[in-house]
Amino acid sequence: MSREKIDGQLFSYTGPAFHYINEEERHFFAKEPAQFRVNLIGCGMIGMEHMRVATRVGRSAIHGVFDLNERSVKVAKEEFAKITDEDFKVYDSLEAACNDPEVDGILICTPNFTHLDVLKVAIKSGKHIFMEKPMATKLEDAYEITKMAKEYGAVLQIGLQYRYKSIYSEAIHEVLERKAVGEVKMINIMEHRIPFLDKVNQWNKFSKFSGGTLVEKCCHYFDLMNLFAQSRPVRVYANGSQSTNFRDFEFKGEKSDILDSAFVTVEYENGVRAGFNLCMFAPMFHEELLVCGDEGRVKAAEIEDFSENARLRTEMEVFCGQNRPSKTSQPSYPKLIEASGHNGATWFEHIAFADQMAGKKTNSATVEEGFWSVVVGCAAEESVKTGKIIEVAELLKSKGIDL
């Protein structure tokens, strides 16, 4: 699909202003037929975001859904009708949704603890698969998925979509492609945000279902860390606690046990050091990345403070001293793309999935990268639990993982 067509499609969502033009007379606003059809497994919060974004991007049409929760299906159906006239097919089993011959791909958007079991069914179809992050809650399961992926002949993309946020996309360009900071030595990432949101059966309040906060949420940041370090993690130390959120929360007689704040340090094989700082009781979303190299420093931040009329704020600084030009900027995507989900990251993740289905190489997260993001998260959770420095090789060995 051409850039012109995508732009036209974007603008046509601004309202019905041009709907009076007959379909056959449209050019800029003409909708090209979708190249692919995909089924959605799990239509909760992120499933519906994928449904909206896939439909708007237009490369992959949502063919049908499967979800265990009737209410999720009902709401998804209502939302789908607002964005397209296409039929909304509801499957009555996972097997049926995965094996429909009319479908090219499967989007797995179920809770973390279900990923491996759902994938085992999906993979039998031989279809292209997109699976949400974190790929698993436990190292053993994440490793099993890497083994399944090695033998898989179709696409298996992991939903580590933060790479596509405008600030990180620009930072990746500056640090890894343009080498603006020279050789990377130190990485610092911070996320301050509001508490975890409600979920079906509140799975994200329990480590056994989510893998723990440092796996569930923070795998995005550990993926970025691993990417900027261009190396494997050797040693992880973390401290953290459930200091504020959900301390009195109980669901079906069980108390929540998830961290809401932590400091994590990671040492890499190539000597890069990295730090991560999490606070989940801040009245805002604030992410910040600092990458320092021997020739410069990149800072990238994304801030949403909920003030009336405030638009997403981004900041980017590339300071290179006497080595090369320095600059400051505010990376962004068109407002409609940013509003479509995760500040535009979901949009570009979908384009990458369609590109991969079309046989193009992309920079979306591979299963191996998904695995290493879970490794850092699990090591950090273990370190918080034991108070010890975790040697990654020993942790992997203790789980029977022989790389």
Ligand X SMILES: NC(=O)c1ccc[n+]([C@@H]2O[C@H](COP(=O)([O-])OP(=O)(O)OC[C@H]3O[C@@H](n4cnc5c(N)ncnc54)[C@H](O)[C@@H]3O)[C@@H](O)[C@H]2O)c1
Closer of 7 and 78 to ligand X (Cβ): 78
365 is a site residue for ligand X (CB under 6 A): no
Q: Which stretch binds ligand X (CB under 6 A): 108-116, 242-250, 273-281, 393-401?
A: 108-116
Q: Which stretch binds ligand X (CB under 6 A): 44-52, 168-176, 236-244, 301-309?
A: 44-52
278 is a site residue for ligand X (CB under 6 A): no
DSSP 8-class letter at 180: T
Q: Which stretch binds ligand X (CB under 6 A): 67-75, 188-196, 252-260, 378-386?
A: 67-75
Q: Which stretch binds ligand X (CB under 6 A): 62-70, 264-272, 351-359, 379-387?
A: 62-70
Q: Which stretch binds ligand X (CB under 6 A): 109-117, 145-153, 172-180, 356-364?
A: 109-117
212 is a site residue for ligand X (CB under 6 A): no
Identify the burial level of 173 via C-beta atoms within 10 angstroms of its C-beta, where 0-12 means exposed, 13-18 middle and 19 or more buried.
middle
Question: Which one of 39, 55, 99, 110 is in contact with ligand X (CB under 6 A)?
Answer: 110
58 is a site residue for ligand X (CB under 6 A): no
User: What is the helix (H) or strand (E) element at residue 107, kind and residue range?
Assistant: strand 105-108
Question: Which one of 67, 191, 223, 287 is in contact with ligand X (CB under 6 A)?
Answer: 67
| Tokens describing residue 104 | 């090219």
Q: What angle do CA 67, 50, 196 make, to 5 degrees?
A: 80
Residues 158 and 131 sit within 8 Å (Cβ to Cβ): yes
Name the minimum Å distance from CB 340 to ligand X. Answer: 13
Question: Which one of 34, 38, 46, 352 is in contact with ligand X (CB under 6 A)?
Answer: 46
**Binding characters for ligand X, 133-172, by CB under 6 A (x = yes):** x-------------------------x-x-----------
* SS3 per residue for 297-361: EEEEEEEECCCCCCCCEEEEEEECCCCCCCEEECCCCCHHHHHCCHHHHHHHHHHHHHHHHCCCC
| Tokens describing residue 385 | 């639990």
332 is a site residue for ligand X (CB under 6 A): no
| Tokens describing residue 156 | 């298996």
Closer of 190 and 393 to ligand X (Cβ): 190
- Minimal CB distance residue for ligand X: 44
- Count of chain residues binding ligand X (CB under 6 A): 27
Instruction: Estimate the crossing angle of helix 345-357 against helix 45-57, to 10 degrees.
Output: 70
The torsion angle over the Cα atoms of residues 331, 333, 335 and 339, rounded to 10 degrees, is -100
Please name the residues in contact with 215: beta carbons below 8 A apart, sequence gap of 6 or more: 112, 134, 137, 374, 377, 378, 381
| Tokens describing residue 85 | 């006239």
Contacting positions for ligand X (CB under 6 A): 41-47, 66-69, 72, 94, 109-112, 114, 118, 132-133, 159, 161, 199-200, 216, 342
